[in-house]
Structure 1
Amino acid sequence: MALKLAWRLFKRELYQGQLLLIILAITLAVLSVTGLASVSDRLQVAIKGQASQFIAADRIIRSPTEIEPALLTLASQLGLSHTTVLEFNSMAYAGDQFQLVKVRAVEDEYPLKGKIELSTGQASGLPALGHLWYETRLYGLLSQPTQVEIGHHYFTLSKEIKRLPDAGFNPFASSPVVLMRMADVAKTGVLQPGSRVTYLYQFTGSDSQLSAFEEQVKPLLNTSQRWVDVTSGDSPIANAVNRAEQFLLLACLLGIALACAAIGIAAQRYCQRHYDVVAMLKTFGASARQIRTLFSFHLLLVTCLGVVLGLLLGIGLDQVISLFLPQEIARYSPSLLRPILLGIATGLISAMMFSAYPLLRLLSIPPLRVLQRQLESASFGTWLHLLLSLSAMGLLGYLYSGQLAMTLTVMATVLLLGGLLSLLGFFMIKLGHGMGMKTTNPLQLALAGLRRRAKQNAMQLVGFSCALVLLLTILALRQDLLEEWRQQLPENAPNYFLVNIAPEQKEGVIQYLSQYIGEVPHLYPVIRGRLTQINGEETITKKQQEEGQTGRLGIGRELNLTWRNTLPDNNRLLEGKFNQAPNDVSVESGVAKRLGLTLGDRLTFTIDNQKVDVTVTSIRDVHWESLQPNFFMVFTEEALSSFASTSIVSFRLGEDKQQVIVGLLRLFPTISVIDVGAMIEQLRQIISQVSVSLSLVLALVLMASALVMMAQTEAGMASRQRELAVLRTFGAKGSLLKWATGLEFALLGIIAGILAVWVAEFSLYLLKTQVFELNVYMHWPWWAIAPLSGGVVVGLLGLWRCRQLLNRPCTELLKGH
């Protein structure tokens, strides 16, 4: 009987449009999450797909020994494409000259992603057997030979390499690279048992294939083997990709928070509208169980309809948006299963959890409300509503992102917003008490309305403030991320590096470059040294530590050291003062954290068998993605000038000045030239795609926020209709009511703007320090722009939504039509 009545009630209210608000809220929730999830998944796959060209594959197993053949068989069975690259160092001879080179031996399938750039353009294949492709600097170092000898075999130098897709970026690499066929390695006879080699097993495939392979393979890898992807730090774009992914995750988390707020508001309104229905049912003898079954089934039907509509619209939104995306992004089509499941979970969990408290209040309505309409339900503890709401939001957030820090930040933001609404929002609404009884002008009437609807307005502030907080947070993070990337890769970013500049060549190189680039470049001296003691304690490597040796954990290799008496342009001082005394040293923040270094620590380096003692007096933040000379340790000139050094310099040349490099190599044939122009262009293309992604997500959040505001204004239409009827009956003019309504909504928008700035600044502080590692600063223009914008937008939105009520005759308002 209860189910039949529930179905009849559902159809009647659906036809009459009374269910529009809650269905719209649930549809909005599922649409926001499904749409954002599907679009962000597409963007993440696209960004990773483009960035994976920097490692020439989707995944890599890096190993000092050959892996088990069974693992490659497994990759083939899963449908993955794979190839093997072998790296080792060897000596190349040309007559009586010789040079240490890094040999990269490759199979026919190399590269799986990206292209080999030659001096003549993109390569269409690989070196022929018995031939080598070589870096430009090898040609100069060996006096332009036509053949070189590696081990027991002679190779023809056939083509000049401009860039390999997985070459990475290491301006300190002392050995030029040569590319050969894997079949030629045995001919050299160089590799013997115990030789130091690196195997790079490269794989490409779909996300599902790669995930299945990773799940089975990673547990089998030993400590000397590494599983590498584009976010592992081996790519210069890794940090940018990681931050872009975090931004997209955050946008969806905020979309979930937005959806939860919309459903909570709609559920509250739904239950309030049925207070009289419950009172009548109880008067006619309906039991509590029957009423509970009736409204639970009713809510389930509404939820299912909202979920279905939201899924259809969310999938449609993804398909429509893909038509406007760049081709590089649109061609990636990730599975829709995850967005659909997330949308269903969002609709069901948020509808049930956010409706529990209003439903409990609804079921406790006393039958006497039929006679005394001011009676409401018994008061339940608000802690229950808060607990259920936060649990739902936290559960959905963690299910989606898998990131505890980000989920907790969003929940902390919600708690702060709730606290501010309780303290500041309600207090500001109460300011209308003194003037609320006078209604001679629109402002006084608006303040009176704020006071009369204090509780309802507090609920509306939740929706308005949430929407503004989301917009401010997303807008600020997008701007900060794009600005940081622009600073790392400005239009005048260096596209050439000169390394291995001998001391006697420095003056000549500076004069030559100054003539063609129009400025005096800054040369960085480079000295190799090893950190041997920290505060008098001998350092050990991580491997030695694992073997049980005691000592202070250090760095298991030589470092490239430099000196400089002024802070490098692409560095930011975090602590201390930069290099003022002869024995000062400045340490990069990542190394300082890894080694547990603080200001005042004493470090001992061994350079050319001599000990150099220095004191840590500053810690720097270094932008490693800037493609400029960067160092872990920066000394003073007094500390290192007595040691032999080479120099490195970066500079920019226009495309019309390429012959400058040719002339430079003729004058200084032993200098190594590294061309990073192609890499910079690829980086810019990826960052451009990321920029489109961030702008798109911002637009989606903007649309979702607007829908929440529209749904929020719907909540008070019934009470406003009664109030307007009374005011019209007592002779209030239409112009007075329009101005008063607009001002009332504008005041709500101003209050929401003030609250949103407080909360957005708090959430940005947490996100920048705990998630994105960005600079923290106050957004002072917001304190004026956000309240004014909130007032204008909410005021106009309220007037637009109330336009029909304001234009109705008094008789229709009294009839409730």
Structure 2
Amino acid sequence: MELKLAWRLFKRELSQGQLLLIILAITLAVLSVTGLASVSERLQLAINGQASKFIAADRIINSPKKIDPAILAIADEVGLEHVTSMQFNSMVYAGDEFQLVTVRAVGAKYPLKGTIELSAGIAAGLPQANSVWFETRLGGLLGYPNQIEIGNANFSLSNEIIRLPDAGFNPFASSPVVLMRIEDVAKTGVIQPGSRVTYRYQFAGDSTQLAAFEQQAKPLLNTSQRWVDVQSGDSPIADAVKRAERFLLLASLLGIALACAAIGIAAQRYCQRHYDVVAMLKTFGASAKQIRILFGTHLLLVTAVGVVLGLIGGFALDQTITAFLPAEIAAYSPPVMRPILLGLGTGFVSAFMFSAYPLMRLLSIPPLRVLQRQLEGLQLGMWLHLVLSLCAMALLGYLYSQSLPLTLTVVAAVLLLGVLLSVLGFFMIRLGHSVGMKTTNPLQLALAGLRRRAKQNAVQLVGFSSALVLLLTIFALRQDLLNEWQKQLPENAPNYFLINIAPDETNAIADFLKPHVATPPVIYPVVRGRLTAINDEILISSEQQKAGVEGRVGISRELNLTYRDSMPDNNEIVSGRFNQDPFDVSVESGVAERLELELGDRLTYTIDNQSLTVNVASIREVHWETLQPNFFMIFTETALAPFSYTSMSSFHLEESQRSVILSLIKQFPTVSVIDVGAMVKQLRQIIDQVSMSLTLVLVLVLLASALVMIAQTEAGMATRQRELAVLRTFGASGWLLRAATGLEFALLGIIAGILAVIVAEFTLYLLKTQVFELNVYMHWPWWGIAPLCGGLVVASLGLWRCRQLLNKSCSDLLKGH
């Protein structure tokens, strides 16, 4: 009987449109999660897939010795492709010439991702047996011989390497690369017990295979072995990928939070509309169990419709957006079941958890409400509603992001935002008390309405302000991320680096490049030195520390030092002042933190077997992600003048001017040229993909924000109808009521806009400093734009929703039609 009645009630209210808002809220929540999960996972797979070309694989294990064969067996078991490579340094000889090189000995499947670019075009395989491919600069250093000698074996030089996919970005690399087959290493006799060799094991496969491999293989690695992926820092776009994924997760969580808020508001409105129904059912003898079954079934049917529509909409959203994506992105296929399960979970968890308290109030309505309409049943337990709502949000957030810190951050932010906005909103609305009793004009009538509904309007402010805060936050983060990446890769970003420039070639190089480049290149002198003491305390290496030696740990390698009269463009002073005295030094902030350096500390270096002591005058923050020469330490020219040096530079050259590089190599054979043009092109493609994902997320959050605002305007319609009936009875004109209603909603929107800017600035400060590592600054235009837009948007929504009430006659309003 109860099920039949629930079905009839559901059909009647569905046909009358009374369930539209709650169904729409559930639909949007499920659509956001399902569609956004599919699209964002596709974009993340594409971003990581493109980025994996920088390491020639999806995952890498670096090891100083051969790894446990069980790890390779696991890779075979889960279906991963893999290839083994070796890297070591060796001297090569060509007649009387010799040169230190970096030998890359690779297996037959190399590279698993990306391509090898040769002077003759894209490589179709690997060097033949007894032959090697070489970097262009090696040919110049050895005089372009036909063959070279490595250890006990001779190899022919068959092709020039323009770029290896996993060459990385190290403009200070002093040894040219030689590529050979791993089978040819044994015949050289170079590798002996104790030789320093890096074994590189590269793996490629789909996300499921990689996850299974990581879960089983990672615990088998020892402390000397390193797990590498595109986010490990070896890739030049590691920071970009990490930030993009954080943004997608953050924006998706905020979208879920907004949709859940809309469900909560709609559920409260739904239950309020049924107070009289429950009172009548109890009056006619219905038991508490029957009423629970009736409305529980009703809510289940509403949720089921919203979930089904949301799943269909999410699938349609994914397919629609995929149709407009570039083919290389659309080719990636995200898992199908995870978005569906997330959608189902979101729909049912949010509907029942956010509806629990309103439903409890509905079921507790006393039968006497039939005679006394002001009775509303359960008045306590708001804390339970808050706990259930936060638990639901936390559960959904964690299921989606799999990130406990990010989930807790969002939940804490939502809780703080709600409390702050409720308190501030309530006190600001109460300011209308002194003028709220007069109703001679629209403004005074609007203020009177704000005062009468102070508690309800404070709740509405939470919804309006939350939507505006999230919109401002997502919009600002999107713009800052795009601006940051644009600074990283401007149109004239350097695509060539010159290293090992001799002092007597500096002016000649500058003169050679001057007619071919738009901006004269900056030439940096490079001096090699080792930091040996801080404040006269001798430093030890990390190896010595592991061996039990006590002391202050330094940097266990030589550093590239430079001098400049002014600070580089991509550096910012954190503290102190840039080199003013002859023996000042400016230190990069990360090194300063690691070595626990402070302003005024004395640093002692050993350079060319000589000692140099300088004082820390400033600490700099360096934007390492820019493809520019960067240094840990910057000295004055006076300090480094006694020491020998080479120089380096970078510049931008159009693709059509490649002949200039060939002329430069011939004219300056000892200068090493590093081409990073292909890397810059790939970086731009990845950033374009990220930009698309950021825009998509912004649009979805905008839709969720609009739904919250619509739900909030819907929430107070019953009270507003009674007030309009009274005002009509006392002769208020239609113009006065429309103007007062519009002004009331506009004032709410203005207050919400002001509060939203305050909270958004605070939220952005936390996010930029703790999560995204972006520069913090105030968004001054928001202080005018946000209140104005908030007033216009909320007033428009309010008038649109109240249009039918405002057009009704006094008798219709009194009858409740």
- CA deviation after TM superposition for structure 1 residue 711, in Å: 2.7
Instruction: For 1:278-297, list aligned pairs within 5 A.
Output: 278-297=278-297
Q: TM-score, normalised by structure 2?
A: 0.95
1:736 equivalent in structure 2: 736
| CA distance in structure 2 between the partners assigned to 1:614 and 1:408 by the alignment | 46
User: Does residue 698 of the first structure (1) align with residue 701 of the second (2)?
Assistant: no
Alignment RMSD (CA, Å) = 2.2
Judge conservation of contact 2:564–2:637 (CA < 8 Å) in 1.
Answer: yes
1:172 equivalent in structure 2: 172
2:239 equivalent in structure 1: 239
| CA distance in structure 2 between the partners assigned to 1:15 and 1:542 by the alignment | 74
Between 1:722-731 and 1:744-753, the stretch displaced more is 722-731
Judge conservation of contact 1:117–1:164 (CA < 8 Å) in 2.
Answer: yes
User: Does residue 618 of the first structure (1) align with residue 618 of the second (2)?
Assistant: yes
1:152 equivalent in structure 2: 152
Judge conservation of contact 1:565–1:580 (CA < 8 Å) in 2.
Answer: no
How many residue pairs match? The answer is: 817
- What do residues 295-336 of structure 1 show as CA deviations (whole Å, max 9, x unaligned)? 344333333332232222222211222112222222211113
Q: Kindly tell me: are residues 298 and 534 of structure 1, through their superposed partners in 2, closer, same or farther at Cα, counting changes over 3 Å? A: farther
- Paired AA for residue 618 in structure 1: S
- What do residues 733-775 of structure 1 show as CA deviations (whole Å, max 9, x unaligned)? 4333333332222222212211211111111011000000001
2:110 equivalent in structure 1: 110
- CA deviation after TM superposition for structure 1 residue 170, in Å: 0.4
2:769 equivalent in structure 1: 769
Instruction: For 1:528-677, list aligned pairs within 5 A.
Output: 528-677=528-677
- CA deviation after TM superposition for structure 1 residue 190, in Å: 1.8
| CA distance in structure 1 between the partners assigned to 2:147 and 2:724 by the alignment | 94
Q: Secondary structure at the match of 1:625?
A: coil
2:683 equivalent in structure 1: 683
2:426 equivalent in structure 1: 426
| CA distance in structure 2 between the partners assigned to 1:534 and 1:347 by the alignment | 60
User: Does residue 411 of the first structure (1) align with residue 380 of the second (2)?
Assistant: no
- CA deviation after TM superposition for structure 1 residue 685, in Å: 1.1
User: Does residue 98 of the first structure (1) align with residue 104 of the second (2)?
Assistant: no
1:64 equivalent in structure 2: 64
- CA deviation after TM superposition for structure 1 residue 156, in Å: 1.9
1:759 equivalent in structure 2: 759
- CA deviation after TM superposition for structure 1 residue 793, in Å: 1.6
Identity %, equivalent residues: 74
Q: Secondary structure at the match of 2:500?
A: strand
Q: Kindly tell me: are residues 516 and 320 of structure 1, through their superposed partners in 2, closer, same or farther at Cα, counting changes over 3 Å? A: closer
Q: Which runs of 5 or more residues in structure 2 are unaligned?
A: none
- Paired AA for residue 270 in structure 2: Y
- Paired AA for residue 698 in structure 1: L
| CA distance in structure 2 between the partners assigned to 1:633 and 1:117 by the alignment | 34
- CA deviation after TM superposition for structure 1 residue 726, in Å: 4.0
Judge conservation of contact 2:422–2:461 (CA < 8 Å) in 1.
Answer: no
- Paired AA for residue 425 in structure 2: G
- CA deviation after TM superposition for structure 1 residue 378, in Å: 4.0
| CA distance in structure 2 between the partners assigned to 1:25 and 1:313 by the alignment | 13
| CA distance in structure 2 between the partners assigned to 1:261 and 1:132 by the alignment | 64
User: Does residue 747 of the first structure (1) align with residue 780 of the second (2)?
Assistant: no
- Paired AA for residue 335 in structure 1: P
Q: Secondary structure at the match of 2:561?
A: strand
Between 1:469-478 and 1:438-447, the stretch displaced more is 438-447
Judge conservation of contact 1:539–1:553 (CA < 8 Å) in 2.
Answer: yes
Judge conservation of contact 2:71–2:220 (CA < 8 Å) in 1.
Answer: no
Between 1:711-720 and 1:248-257, the stretch displaced more is 711-720
Q: Kindly tell me: are residues 518 and 690 of structure 1, through their superposed partners in 2, closer, same or farther at Cα, counting changes over 3 Å? A: closer
| CA distance in structure 2 between the partners assigned to 1:686 and 1:222 by the alignment | 33
| CA distance in structure 2 between the partners assigned to 1:321 and 1:180 by the alignment | 44
Judge conservation of contact 2:89–2:100 (CA < 8 Å) in 1.
Answer: yes
| CA distance in structure 1 between the partners assigned to 2:600 and 2:362 by the alignment | 66
| CA distance in structure 2 between the partners assigned to 1:730 and 1:390 by the alignment | 45
1:476 equivalent in structure 2: 476
Q: Which runs of 5 or more residues in structure 1 are unaligned?
A: none
Q: Kindly tell me: are residues 490 and 9 of structure 1, through their superposed partners in 2, closer, same or farther at Cα, counting changes over 3 Å? A: same
| CA distance in structure 2 between the partners assigned to 1:548 and 1:381 by the alignment | 61
| CA distance in structure 1 between the partners assigned to 2:597 and 2:362 by the alignment | 61
- CA deviation after TM superposition for structure 1 residue 369, in Å: 2.0
Q: Secondary structure at the match of 2:514?
A: helix
| CA distance in structure 2 between the partners assigned to 1:615 and 1:290 by the alignment | 82
| CA distance in structure 2 between the partners assigned to 1:198 and 1:674 by the alignment | 23
| CA distance in structure 1 between the partners assigned to 2:310 and 2:516 by the alignment | 61
Judge conservation of contact 1:30–1:347 (CA < 8 Å) in 2.
Answer: yes
- Paired AA for residue 398 in structure 1: Y
Q: Secondary structure at the match of 2:418?
A: helix
- CA deviation after TM superposition for structure 1 residue 64, in Å: 1.5
| CA distance in structure 1 between the partners assigned to 2:58 and 2:70 by the alignment | 20
| CA distance in structure 2 between the partners assigned to 1:336 and 1:540 by the alignment | 54
- Paired AA for residue 479 in structure 2: Q
| CA distance in structure 2 between the partners assigned to 1:815 and 1:108 by the alignment | 84
Between 1:416-425 and 1:191-200, the stretch displaced more is 416-425
- CA deviation after TM superposition for structure 1 residue 659, in Å: 2.8
- CA deviation after TM superposition for structure 1 residue 173, in Å: 0.5
- Paired AA for residue 346 in structure 2: T
1:339 equivalent in structure 2: 339
2:35 equivalent in structure 1: 35
| CA distance in structure 2 between the partners assigned to 1:264 and 1:542 by the alignment | 56
1:197 equivalent in structure 2: 197
| CA distance in structure 2 between the partners assigned to 1:671 and 1:270 by the alignment | 76
| CA distance in structure 1 between the partners assigned to 2:714 and 2:338 by the alignment | 32
| CA distance in structure 2 between the partners assigned to 1:532 and 1:397 by the alignment | 49
| CA distance in structure 2 between the partners assigned to 1:657 and 1:326 by the alignment | 29
- CA deviation after TM superposition for structure 1 residue 694, in Å: 0.9
- What do residues 210-260 of structure 1 show as CA deviations (whole Å, max 9, x unaligned)? 000111110111111111100000100111001001110111111121122
- Paired AA for residue 321 in structure 1: I
Q: Secondary structure at the match of 1:626?
A: coil
- 4+ runs deviating over 6 angstroms: none
1:248 equivalent in structure 2: 248
| CA distance in structure 1 between the partners assigned to 2:405 and 2:598 by the alignment | 26
- CA deviation after TM superposition for structure 1 residue 288, in Å: 4.2
Judge conservation of contact 1:540–1:553 (CA < 8 Å) in 2.
Answer: yes
Q: Secondary structure at the match of 1:179?
A: strand
1:359 equivalent in structure 2: 359
- Paired AA for residue 793 in structure 1: V
| CA distance in structure 2 between the partners assigned to 1:682 and 1:167 by the alignment | 14
Judge conservation of contact 2:49–2:58 (CA < 8 Å) in 1.
Answer: yes
Q: Kindly tell me: are residues 604 and 293 of structure 1, through their superposed partners in 2, closer, same or farther at Cα, counting changes over 3 Å? A: farther
Q: Secondary structure at the match of 2:565?
A: coil
Between 1:516-525 and 1:367-376, the stretch displaced more is 516-525
2:467 equivalent in structure 1: 467
| CA distance in structure 2 between the partners assigned to 1:302 and 1:519 by the alignment | 65
Between 1:718-727 and 1:454-463, the stretch displaced more is 718-727
2:84 equivalent in structure 1: 84
- CA deviation after TM superposition for structure 1 residue 515, in Å: 4.0
1:55 equivalent in structure 2: 55
| CA distance in structure 1 between the partners assigned to 2:395 and 2:640 by the alignment | 56
Q: Secondary structure at the match of 1:619?
A: strand
Judge conservation of contact 2:62–2:201 (CA < 8 Å) in 1.
Answer: yes
Q: Secondary structure at the match of 2:101?
A: strand
- Paired AA for residue 62 in structure 2: R
Q: Secondary structure at the match of 1:75?
A: helix
2:44 equivalent in structure 1: 44
| CA distance in structure 2 between the partners assigned to 1:405 and 1:74 by the alignment | 31
Between 1:476-485 and 1:20-29, the stretch displaced more is 20-29
Q: TM-score, normalised by structure 1?
A: 0.95
Q: Kindly tell me: are residues 477 and 190 of structure 1, through their superposed partners in 2, closer, same or farther at Cα, counting changes over 3 Å? A: same
- Paired AA for residue 90 in structure 2: S
- What do residues 45-67 of structure 1 show as CA deviations (whole Å, max 9, x unaligned)? 11101111101111111112122
Judge conservation of contact 1:420–1:755 (CA < 8 Å) in 2.
Answer: no
Judge conservation of contact 1:461–1:748 (CA < 8 Å) in 2.
Answer: yes
Between 1:462-471 and 1:439-448, the stretch displaced more is 439-448
1:188 equivalent in structure 2: 188
